[in-house]
Amino acid sequence: MGLFSSASQAATAVAVPAPKTMQTVFDEADDATERNRIARVGEFFAVPLSILDGDGGDLLIWFDTHFQPLKQIGAGPLPGSDRQFWKSTSSYAKWREVVRRRIKTTLGMIAAKKALRERVDGWTPLLALLEELSKDHGPVHPATVGSVQTFSDRARAAGIDPMDMTPYIVPAFLDGMPAHENAASTRALRALGRYRIFPQIAEFLPEDFDTDYLIPPARTPVPEARGRWCRGPLACASTPSDRPNRGGDSSHRTYCRRFSHTPAARCSGSAPEVRSKRGVQK
């Protein structure tokens, strides 16, 4: 029993793949420049690359969490800005692009995407048609082709063909995506909805393909305080009892538009005092 148990444990140990770390990413890179950029990750955290394993989770998600794209950083500081770790935003962006691509290669994501795009399925003729219609200033914008192709990668991985994109399937598919992928996929679907006016494109889509359900109704409630603020100037400009006896309606409306944003008008929701040559009128 002891021998069998030892052999079973050894077989199990062999079957479990070693976790991917930044050291793995470094070792699989052949280009010296890429290796230098990967090594910067260890320098950033001041630890060996071998212990940077994504905190036990997905290595790419871990990298994106610590090194966000410039679009998400916005006007905020770059990671390590207190140490002046990067010379410029452009150098940070280029470094991030290279290291992120190498991580995706190590995790097999690049090979998986290549295999998906080499697949012959319902997306193959549709993507070829979009590509053709984008040439020579055609009706399809080249950026739309890239957007739809990226969406097709996600759809293919989920086993969804263009003919499967019905209101019964698409919403649940989108809900399972991260927020940024959901937004990008929604844009791609809306683009397909616009180009459905071309019969050759509509041929590859369901008869009831309609992206209106992707746009939730926007009903933003107006706070009561803001409502009073809005109603005050309107009443001031339109209520006959609020108009001055002299000076004409036009001058009074001009006065109200000019001063209806004052704190007193905001709080009371009523028209401000109107000063004339003969005194104060309300």
**pLDDT tens track for 170-202:** 989 999 888 888 999 999 999 999 999 999 999
Domain final position from 214, 232, 247? 214
Long-range interactions of 120-125: CB distance < 8 A, separation 24+: 121/156, 121/161, 122/161, 122/162, 122/163, 122/204, 123/152, 123/155, 123/156, 123/161, 123/162, 125/204
Each residue's pLDDT tens digit, 99-125: 999 999 999 888 888 888 888 899 999
Q: Which residues contact 85 (CB under 8 A, 6 or more apart)?
A: 44, 78, 79
Would you say residue 162 lies in a domain?
yes
What span, in angstroms and rounded, lies between the C-alpha atoms of 175 and 155?
A: 13
What mean pLDDT do residues 275-280 have? 50
pLDDT number for residue 118: 86
Of 3 and 128, the one with more pLDDT:
128
Same domain as 87, residue 174? no
Q: Which tokens belong to 190? A: 């809306």
Domain final position from 107, 126, 147? 107
44 pLDDT band (50/70/90 cuts)? very high
The answer to whether the beta carbons of residues 26 and 56 sit under 8 Å apart is: no
Would you say residue 85 lies in a domain?
yes
What span, in angstroms and rounded, lies between the C-alpha atoms of 166 and 164?
A: 6
Which domain covers residue 64, as residue numbers?
16-107
Would you say residue 2 lies in a domain?
no
pLDDT number for residue 228: 53
pLDDT number for residue 200: 93
What span, in angstroms and rounded, lies between the C-alpha atoms of 160 and 152?
A: 8
pLDDT number for residue 208: 79
Nearest to 232 by CA among 267, 282, 274, 276: 267
Would you say residue 8 lies in a domain?
no
Percent of the chain with pLDDT over 90: 51
pLDDT number for residue 204: 93
Q: To which residue do tokens 């940024």 refer?
A: 180
Each residue's pLDDT tens digit, 224-248: 555 555 555 544 444 444 444 444 4
Angle at 108 between CA 103 and CA 110, to 5 degrees: 80
Instruction: Dihedral sign for Cα 24, 25, 29, 34, please.
Output: negative
Nearest to 104 by CA among 169, 193, 6, 24: 24
Question: Number of folded domains in the chain?
Answer: 3
Q: Is 190 helix (H, G, I), strand (E, B) or coil?
A: helix
Q: To which residue do tokens 């926007």 refer?
A: 218
Would you say residue 26 lies in a domain?
yes
Domain final position from 186, 214, 242? 214
